[in-house]
Every structure is written in structure tokens, then in C-alpha cells.
Structure 1
Amino acid sequence: MSGDERGRSGMEDYPLSAVPDEGRQEFWPITLVLLGFTFFSATMWGGASIGVAFRFWPDLVWIILWGNAILAVYVAGLGYIGFRSGFSTVLSARFAFGDIGSRWSDTLLGLTQLGWYAWGTATIAIALVRLLNLDAGCAAPLMIVFGLGFCMTAYVGCRGLAALSWIAVPAMLLLIAVSIAVALRDAGSAAGPLAAGTLTVAEALTIVVGTFVSGGTQVANWTRFAGSGRVAVGSVLIAFFVGNGLMIAVGAVSAAIYGVSDIVEVLEIQGLLFAGILLLFLNIWTTQDNTIYNFSVAGCHFWRTERRRLITFGGAAAGTLLALAGMYDWLIPYMVMMGVLIPPLGGVIMADFFVGHRGRYPPLDGAAVPRFNWRGLAAYAAGSLAALVVPGIPPVNGIAAAFLIYACLIRFTAWRTRKRPVPSRDIASDAPARPNFRR
């Protein structure tokens, strides 16, 4: 790649190539971007559903800790791959599924993020109409404003995401801390919530892991910019164990004390409406820009173009149209479907990198990538089936099954290659001899 080409690719955040050394970043910019991504209202809703089903101590605390530990370990593995290779998730998928086969992962990951962008756009518009007592007809214009406005930081790229997160993440942490302090005062005790639901432990863990397993599968889109493995893995653990765990805990405690799951509604009840509106705005924006950034990376790979900024704006427009079409009401079936289809992608990618390529991809421009990697596609299908029908935690079942099946297929292929007959030649006649089987 020439200097001019690398410069243009850098302006677009290297959508079709590895991030070079000069594009790498330190710990805090990546950590704050990922924290902004995991600070999301929908995660609080997941926490609320388990907050009324278990005693605070020790049941609820252990479920939150174990669920987020499972999520963080999985995402950390993918984050390390992003650092080591410099590739986005969809570029790694090209090795795992083939040049054409990887377009399935592009489509799945892209549409997932587009749906979340539409839901977030609708959420803030509907919430503001309610909180400010606006006319219901204001919802649609607000969706258009926010749908097109929230993509601006993603349009800039990782620099724009980081700049917003430097301001938004500390502000959100402060507002959440104030709200929790007031909530604990109102409850009179930190361990007061009573169990009132009927969830099993497996179902509760599924909710905790499933809240961000789809977004976490694309974590390499950010950790490819990490300057070291410690930066990549450390930032992921803080965001997906601490950050996502905090959102689950806030939703659980809020539901148990006030009977509502959303921290914004809690702040309204506490008489802190302005703080609630500010938190809502920052909460949605820091997730929306990361979400549409993911869409743009997947779109660039699907169309094999480096015009990431153009795809960012096009995706935001499409997400806005979905919001206007009523995406807000489709969240639950959408989350269930994504919890089955997305996690096995990560399982195959990790098996392909750690087992198939032994921790190092070849250069992308010189690699012999097949059109379809049938081992990866078969392992993905089996992982999705396991997530759908095997008892337990569906996302974990999908990841584990996809990883193990792909690893076994790699070993089986290597064994067949060693056992394949190797023709030898008769030195005197130079004619092919009978096959000579290796033992």
C-alpha cells in the first residue's frame, strides 16, 4: 500500500486492511469508547427482569458477577484477536468463512447494528415526548433529528467516538452514582429487595450474557487500534465486566426499589428530571455512534469499499427509517433472534485464529482465502442449532459448540491430509509408481 493509499485508508479507519503501528492507541481512549458502548438503557431492562426475581445477596450478586465474567472472557478473546491481527471482526471472518462466505457475517452483523440503531433512535424520541409532555406528533421529527445527528461522531471515526466518550462516560458515572446513593437511602438498606419473580438461574444468566454478546462479538473493531495486548484485553474486561455489570446492577436495584428499570425514570421519580434527560441523551448517543460505526465497518467489507463515511451516513438514514416504521416494538423478538445467530460467529472466529492459524493470520493481500470455508460455515450452523435447542445458556452453547466443532474439523482435515497417499516415481523409468501410504 502506497503512502497516499494508507493515508486515505487511515482517514476512513482502515476498513479493509490491518491497522498499522502509527494508528495504534493507548489504554484510556479505547476503554472510554467501549464503556460508552456498554452504557446502554436496554441493558438496564435486562437487569430489571432479574432484580425482582432473586434476593440481592447472595443470589443476585453472584448471577451478575458470573454472567458478566462469562461475557467478558468471550469478548476478551475476540479483543485480543483484533489487537494481534489489526483486523476488524469482518476481516477475521473472511478467513473463518471464506471470501464470499464472510458476506453472511457482514450481513448478519450489519443488520444487527442497524436494528439497534433504529431502536435507540426511537427510544430517545419517545422518552423525550413523555418526559417533556410534548405532543405525540413530535416523536417522528425527533427521530429524524437524532437518527441523523447521532452518526456525526461515528462519521469522524474512532477519534470522534473517543472525544465524545471522554466527556460522556465520567458524566454518566457521576449521575448514576448520585441516583444509586438516593435509591439506597430510599430503600433504607443495600440488601433490601425481595424476590418476586420466577426466573431460573440459567434463564437469569442467559439474560446477563445475552445483553451484549452481539455487540461484544464486534469488539475487534476497536481493539485493532490497541497498542498492546494488555491494552486490548484490559479495556475489554473493564467495559464488559465492570461497565456492563454496572448497567445490569443499576437496572436490578432500580426495579427492586422503585418498580421501574430505566435509570432515567428513576431519576424522574427522585426529582432529578434534568439529570435524567442529560443521562438519557449521553447514554443513547455513546451507544448509537458505536453501533452505526460497527454497521459501517461491516458494510465496507460487504461492498469491498473504503468509503466508510458514506456508508455510515447511509446506515444512519436506513436506521432512522426503521425507527419511523416502529422498530421500538420489535426489541424482544429481535434480541432473542440475535442471541441465537450472532454468538456462534465469535466461536468460529476464535477457533480459526487460535487453532487454525495458531495465533497469527497471514498477510491479507497475499493470503489464499477460499471462496467458501465450508468448515467454518458448518461449525457456525451447528453452533446456531446448539444455541437454539440445547438446554442451558443459549449464547454460551452457541459459542462453545461452534468453537469445538470447528477445532475438530481442523484436526480431522489435518489427519486426512497426513493419511492421503503420496505418489512416488520410479527412478529408472520416471513413470508413476504405486501409491506409497505414510504411516
Structure 2
Amino acid sequence: MADSLAYDADSRTPVDPAEAVSGFQIGIVLIGISITLPLMYSAGELAQGMGLRSAITATLLGALALSLMSIPAAIVGASTRLSSYMIIEHTFGYVGAKFINFGFGVFLLGWYAVTAELFGRTLFLAASELTTLALPEWSYTVLSSLIVTVTTIYGFKAIDRLALVAVPFLLLSLAGVVMLSLRQVAFTELLDLPGSGAIDMPTGISAVIGAAIVGVVLTPDLTRYARTTGDCVVASFVGQGGGMCIAYIVGMIPVLVWGELEPMTYMLLMGFGGLALAVLVFATWTTNVINLYSTALASRASVPLGDYRSVVIVMGIVGTAAAIVGISDQLIDFLILMGLLVPPIAGIYFADFYVFGRRDFSANHLEQRPAIRFNAVAVALGAGLISAWLYYAGASVTSIGALDALLLSMLAYTLVEWLASRRKR
């Protein structure tokens, strides 16, 4: 345990290559992150709003986009062996990175709180059906958050081990849920069911991307443990692409068959009982550990006060308080907003790494860089705001808001840096 605690004791230093793992292992962790309650709720809302055929198309396109965006981020992590927050510090400057990482911390803490709220609600429903306990819903949110916080304290090794046990169990159980649902209604019949029309294709794709876009930008947090570039590609397609497809498709079918959006409710209708509780606990436990882990890394990079363990505990308490207040009512809107504001961060460090070849991530080089790189910060902020304005105005180049935001930030930053270098010469 002492070793695994030390494993993440300082998120500001490169990972020892001796600690590297395979891309498939990282992909398994990413699948574990994908299969969680917020995504199952989101999947159900997409299926009801679009119809199953269109919702599956939106999922496949969104998952492909996530995989392709994840690969360059993963390679940066494997090349530098640094967390995404240290990469951002090199890209935006020491002070500039504090603003970026603070924004990430807010998004991640919000995602943690949404998941914790749904986790607590699921435990509350299960206890109401399976036991005679009459505890308030908030008490289950506190209990689940306590379990997540304790696991996160022990860092990536604990997360890796949890995922290796939980994910195979999850996949088998959810496959059983889908198969039993399809005994009630044939898959071809489900494909022909019309949606309510409340969600169009671009919105559906954007929701799928938004659900995982923060994870894409923060992919280096996990791929800094990857052995090779090939492992980065495997992790991206297995984890980001495969994980999202599995999470969304298995979340759509039971909702349409049973007419219930609550996973715990339709699993109880199917007679799963305790197994349903185990499935949903494992699914949400794995994901919220990663959410809190990344929140802690962002917090330490933004305001490096306290050690890793202390920051995890504080962020867990704050996130739990937000969950008890209740912030999950606007889930789809939250996902779309993340998909518009977060990609420009990746666009900037992609351009720095791949276009300008700025690959010196040593501590000495960081000391020589300006405290704040105004071009990087200004373009990231501007591209995010412009992309959001274009999306809500109904204008798009690729019809996928997150991809527009990524490409706009890369092109704008490349142009600004090129003009700045010409001016210097």
C-alpha cells in the first residue's frame, strides 16, 4: 500500500518507464470510466429523443471522433511521461496554466458531483426495494463518496486493479441486461421506433463527445504509463471509442424496452435485484474514482497546496456537497457545453507539440518559459467562446461542435504564433 500511495505522491514529476503498462490495460481502465450512470442516463435520453437507429449512428460517429482526438493526446502523454496538467503548464506558462487547470478542476468536480448524485440515488432506490432501511437519499450519496475517496487516495495502481476486476464483470452483466431486454422486444422492432424528435443528429453527436471530451484532453494522465506509441493507439480505440459505444448502446436498449430511464428501476423490473445493485455500484465506483483522481491532479497543478492525499479528501468533500445540492437535472446541456469549451485546450498543446515541435518538457525549460503565454491563453479562451456561439447560433463547419472547437483553436494558434515569429524576425 505504501508503494501505491507513493505512485501518485507527486503528480508533477515524470512517470518511471519501469512502471509502464500495456495499451490494452489502459484501455480497460478507460472502458471502466465510460460505463457509468451519467452516460447510461444520457444514452436513454438520446434513444428517447432520437430513436434507436439515429442514436446508434450518433454514438458511433461520436466514438470515432473521440478515438481520433484521443490518439495525439495519448502520444503526448507517453512521450513526456507527464500528467496533462504539467503539459498544460509547459504550454500555457506557469501562471497561465493555473487558470486553465482551475477551469478543468471546476468541470471535473461538476462531473464528479453529477455522478455522485446519481450514485446516491441508485443506492437509495435499491435500498428502498431490497431492504427495510428508511435513510434519506443524501446519506447514500455521502456513503458512496466516502468509498470513492478512500479508493482514490491510493492512486493509479488502485484504480487499475479495481478496473481489471470490475470491467469484465460489468461487461458480462450488462450484456445479460441487453439480452434479456431483447427477449421482450426484437432489435429490429426497436430500430423502427421513432424518437420524440427532441434531439437532432448534431446535438446527439455533441452530447456523446461532450460526455468524454475532458477525458480526451486529460488522456496523458493515464497514457503517461503507456509503453509505446502503439499502446496509445490501442488505448484510444479500445478505451475512448469502444468504451463509449458499449456504454451508450447498452444504456439505450433497456430504456426503450422497459420505458424507464432509471437503470436501477428497469433492472429491478427484470428481476436482477442484488445483481443490479452490484453492476451499478461497480460501474459508478470505477468512473468516479477517475473523476476524483483527475480533479485532484488539476487542483494540485492549479493551487499546489497540500499533498495528494489531502487534496483528494478536500475535493471529495466539496464534490459531495455539490451532489447533495443536486446538479444533474441539465445533464445533456452540461455535456454539450463541455464539448465546446474544453477541446481548445487540447488544440493548443497539439499545435505546440506537433506543429511547432516544442517537445522539451524538462524542469529547466519550464523555468525559462514566460509565466504566462498570452497567445495560448487568449486563443484557447477565444476559440472556446466562438465555438460555443457558433454552435448555439446553428453554424458549424463539421456539424460537430467539439471538432469545430478543436480545429479552430489549432488553426488560430498556429496563425498567431507564425505572425508573432515573423514580427520578431
Q: TM-score scaled to structure 2, two decimals? A: 0.90
Report what 2:86 is aligned to: 91
Q: Following the alignment from structure 2 to structure 1, what is the Cα–Cα distance between the partners of residues 133 and 327?
A: 20
Contact 1:19 1:224 in 2 (8 A): yes
Report what 1:366 is aligned to: 365
The answer to whether residue 26 in structure 2 is matched with residue 30 in structure 1 is: yes
**Superimposed CA distance per residue, residues 4-53 of structure 1 (whole angstroms, 9 cap, x where no aligned partner):** xxx99953354112212223222343222211111122112222233234
Report what 1:396 is aligned to: 403
Q: Post-superposition shift, 1:191?
A: 5.0
Report what 2:273 is aligned to: 273
Report what 2:57 is aligned to: 62
Contact 2:5 2:153 in 1 (8 A): no
Contact 2:296 2:311 in 1 (8 A): yes
Report what 1:48 is aligned to: 44
CA RMSD for the aligned pairs?
2.3
Cα 1:63–1:227 change in 2 (3 A) is same
Deviating more after overlay: 98-107 vs 253-262: 253-262
- Within a 5 Å distance, the mapping from 1:212-227 to structure 2 comes to 212-227=212-227
Deviating more after overlay: 331-340 vs 39-48: 331-340
- Within a 5 Å distance, the mapping from 1:222-371 to structure 2 comes to 222-304=222-304, 307-329=307-329, 331-358=331-358, 360-367=359-366, 368-371=368-371
Report what 1:78 is aligned to: 73
Report what 1:16 is aligned to: 12
Report what 2:98 is aligned to: 103
**Superimposed CA distance per residue, residues 73-93 of structure 1 (whole angstroms, 9 cap, x where no aligned partner):** 112221111111111111111
Q: Following the alignment from structure 2 to structure 1, what is the Cα–Cα distance between the partners of residues 81 and 172?
A: 34
Q: Following the alignment from structure 1 to structure 2, what is the Cα–Cα distance between the partners of residues 190 and 263?
A: 22
Cα 1:150–1:55 change in 2 (3 A) is closer
Q: Following the alignment from structure 1 to structure 2, what is the Cα–Cα distance between the partners of residues 288 and 55?
A: 29
Q: Post-superposition shift, 1:105?
A: 1.5
Structure 2: give runs of 5+ residues left out of the alignment.
none
The one-letter code matched in structure 2 to 1:65 is L
Report what 1:434 is aligned to: none
Q: Following the alignment from structure 2 to structure 1, what is the Cα–Cα distance between the partners of residues 345 and 238?
A: 23
The one-letter code matched in structure 2 to 1:94 is E
Counterpart of 1:293 in 2: which secondary structure?
helix
Q: Following the alignment from structure 2 to structure 1, what is the Cα–Cα distance between the partners of residues 380 and 61?
A: 25
**Superimposed CA distance per residue, residues 170-203 of structure 1 (whole angstroms, 9 cap, x where no aligned partner):** 1100111101111111112345331122232212
Contact 1:151 1:316 in 2 (8 A): yes
Q: Post-superposition shift, 1:138?
A: 2.5
Q: Post-superposition shift, 1:298?
A: 0.9
Q: Following the alignment from structure 2 to structure 1, what is the Cα–Cα distance between the partners of residues 230 and 15?
A: 17
The one-letter code matched in structure 2 to 1:140 is W
Cα 1:9–1:304 change in 2 (3 A) is farther
Contact 2:55 2:204 in 1 (8 A): no
The answer to whether residue 112 in structure 2 is matched with residue 117 in structure 1 is: yes
Q: Following the alignment from structure 1 to structure 2, what is the Cα–Cα distance between the partners of residues 314 and 135?
A: 29
Q: Following the alignment from structure 1 to structure 2, what is the Cα–Cα distance between the partners of residues 128 and 60?
A: 28
Contact 2:50 2:200 in 1 (8 A): no
**Superimposed CA distance per residue, residues 301-323 of structure 1 (whole angstroms, 9 cap, x where no aligned partner):** 12336721221111111112222
Q: Following the alignment from structure 1 to structure 2, what is the Cα–Cα distance between the partners of residues 61 and 123?
A: 24
Q: Following the alignment from structure 1 to structure 2, what is the Cα–Cα distance between the partners of residues 272 and 125?
A: 19
Q: Following the alignment from structure 2 to structure 1, what is the Cα–Cα distance between the partners of residues 106 and 271?
A: 38
Cα 1:136–1:349 change in 2 (3 A) is farther
Cα 1:18–1:397 change in 2 (3 A) is same
**Superimposed CA distance per residue, residues 357-382 of structure 1 (whole angstroms, 9 cap, x where no aligned partner):** 35x23413333221111111121122
Q: Following the alignment from structure 1 to structure 2, what is the Cα–Cα distance between the partners of residues 74 and 279?
A: 30
Cα 1:235–1:71 change in 2 (3 A) is same
Of the three residues 122, 142, 153, the one matched with 1:155 is: 153
Counterpart of 1:132 in 2: which secondary structure?
helix
**Superimposed CA distance per residue, residues 323-381 of structure 1 (whole angstroms, 9 cap, x where no aligned partner):** 223334464554344333222211112112112335x2341333322111111112112
Cα 1:54–1:119 change in 2 (3 A) is closer
Which one has the bigger helix percentage?
2
Q: Post-superposition shift, 1:204?
A: 1.8
Counterpart of 2:251 in 1: which secondary structure?
helix
Cα 1:38–1:361 change in 2 (3 A) is farther
Contact 1:83 1:224 in 2 (8 A): yes
Q: Following the alignment from structure 1 to structure 2, what is the Cα–Cα distance between the partners of residues 144 and 9?
A: 23
Deviating more after overlay: 47-56 vs 21-30: 47-56
Counterpart of 2:298 in 1: which secondary structure?
helix
The one-letter code matched in structure 1 to 2:216 is G
The one-letter code matched in structure 1 to 2:277 is I
Contact 1:16 1:304 in 2 (8 A): no
Q: Following the alignment from structure 1 to structure 2, what is the Cα–Cα distance between the partners of residues 241 and 226?
A: 18
Contact 1:26 1:227 in 2 (8 A): yes
Cα 1:11–1:404 change in 2 (3 A) is same
Q: Following the alignment from structure 2 to structure 1, what is the Cα–Cα distance between the partners of residues 134 and 377?
A: 46
Q: TM-score scaled to structure 1, two decimals? A: 0.87
Q: State how many pairs are aligned.
A: 410
Q: Following the alignment from structure 2 to structure 1, what is the Cα–Cα distance between the partners of residues 323 and 263?
A: 22
Instruction: State, as a whole percentage, how many aligned pairs show the same letter.
Output: 20
Q: Following the alignment from structure 2 to structure 1, what is the Cα–Cα distance between the partners of residues 233 and 379?
A: 26
* Structure number with bigger Rg: 1
Runs in 1 of length 4+ with deviation above 6 angstroms? none
Contact 1:69 1:241 in 2 (8 A): yes
